Amino acid sequence: MKQRAIVWFRRDLRLADNPALSAALNSDFDAIVPVFIHAPDELGAWAPGGAQRVWLHLSLERLSAQLEALGSRLVIRHGPTREALDTLIEESGATAVYWNRLYDPLTIARDKNVKKHLDDSGIETASFQAHLLHEPWTVETKQGGPYKVFTPFWKAIKDRNLDAPMAAPDALPEVWSRIGTETLASLDLLPRLDWGRRIRQTWTSGEDGAHERLEQFLDNAIDNYDNDRDRPARHGTSYLSPHLHWGEIGPRQIMHRLEEWLDTHSGKALQDHAASFRSEIGWREFAHHVLYHFPETPEKPLDPRFEAFPWSGDDEGLKRWQQGQTGIPMVDAGMRELWATGYMHNRLRMTVASFLTKNLRVAWQHGERWFWDTLVDADLANNTLGWQWATGCGADAAPFFRIFNPARQGERFDSDGEYVRRWVPELAKLENRHIHEPWKAPAKALKVAGITLGDDYPQPIVDLKASRREALEAFDQIKQSD
């Protein structure tokens, strides 16, 4: 009797180092059916946002082409997942379903339900590790609990051995023509208005695009990573986060390729830059560790004191922040980059998050939501950890009194104003010494630059010093519950 398997693709949209696919190929199955099931309702409020959907469409397009080049094809189905798998099992005669694990709360709950249903139906199930270097439950403190601080977490895992990545298959079995598929267009992932055009121009999604991005980083940026990664006008970071989120490349592949590259390059400075980059992969691991052990954190602060924080409820301020019209150039530049490209430099993520939660005192969940809908790399673990870190209410968080001054951030990390001029062209002719605080510029300097504040560019919507003081006073109200 012929044995057939379904390989259920999710956020592992690659062929190399795909444990579920490799396990199916290394078993005695006569045929393998690759399937992607679109079931956003099963992810509730954390279904992919608008920018993620654009990326997903393009990534599925490329995965489909890869499979066809190897003699297979991608079967696309609409959810619910259980019903879609049941139908595909009946059509294909599959006796097994393989997939790679994910770690956000709703996906874990859904996967457990699917596994029980398939097991009860006599279908073999197997899940594998592909998304992280180490699964969250394999890392614990000496007391046996989860970590809440990054440094000891990273120290505990950074020297653990990693298996070598698995090679991509050279060929795949044909999927019978009688097994139908929905069209990619039927998933309705692309927006009606083509606001995603800039995303397509900025990024190359898919497995090949991920590896090209990694090689560009190794060739052009890692040798000055510590110096350039905080300067948003430079291409000083890896830009791998959206590829990692969708599993077009895995962290094990990145670590392995980095070690290969370092074997042919030398120098202590380079080793230090590489160590810093590895720790950023470690932060991603830490984010998933925290989310797994504290699944309530996408909605609730890890520090319960912040449930009583007196947020301002400033709807107009939130709207101006979203639009990049706050009158604070570094904030506006970051928000406009986000809207145009689906991405924001990490230095700016910290800056705009601090401004929203501390200068405007808008609850961090509103910023988390906006990032979720507009970032191509919006990842529930990373997004949650980042917003709670910036607010001061999460794991290993910056203390609340650490309030970023966006003007000083600009002076330090965009001293020549290149980044601001790129995204806030209204200020392009303003001198460097005034570009991060145009409200302090003399009337003559504004006139020479062709700027009338309030007409060509907004006046600041908040006073940075006064709002900082008010934020600290608000924090004093909840410190009593220590």
Annotated catalytic residues are 280, 283, 311, 346, 364, 387
Location of structure tokens 């809908």: 373
Q: Whole-angstrom Cα distance, residue 118 to residue 112?
A: 10
Q: Whole-angstrom Cα distance, residue 155 to residue 458?
A: 46
Query: Phi and psi at residue 144, in whole multiples of 5°?
Result: 90, 15
Q: Where are the alpha helices (DSSP H) in 425-463?
A: 432-435, 443-448
Q: Whole-angstrom Cα distance, residue 130 to residue 115?
A: 18
Q: Where are the alpha helices (DSSP H) in 375-463?
A: 380-391, 406-413, 418-423, 432-435, 443-448
Are the CB atoms for 207 and 62 separated by under 8 Å? yes
Amino acid at 281: I
Q: For residue 368, give the nearest of 302, 306, 309, 322 by alpha carbon.
A: 322
Q: What tokens were used for 138? A: 């394999």
Q: Which residues contact 428 (CB under 8 A, 6 or more apart)?
A: 421, 449
Q: How many CB atoms lie within 10 A of CB 131?
A: 22
Give 453's DSSP letter. Answer: B
Q: For residue 168, give the nearest of 267, 266, 268, 248 by alpha carbon.
A: 248
Q: Where are the alpha helices (DSSP H) in 324-358?
A: 329-341, 346-354
**Backbone dihedral region for residue 231 (phi beyond 0: left; psi -120 to 50: alpha; all else: beta):** beta
Q: Where are the alpha helices (DSSP H) in 342-377?
A: 346-354, 364-374
Q: 440 - beta bridge partners?
A: none
CA distance readout (Å), 359 to 260, 406, 466: 45, 10, 8
Q: Whole-angstrom Cα distance, residue 27 to residue 19?
A: 12
Q: How many CB atoms lie within 10 A of CB 243?
A: 30
How many residues belong to the chain? Answer: 482
Q: Whole-angstrom Cα distance, residue 96 to residue 354?
A: 48
Q: Whole-angstrom Cα distance, residue 142 to residue 156?
A: 10
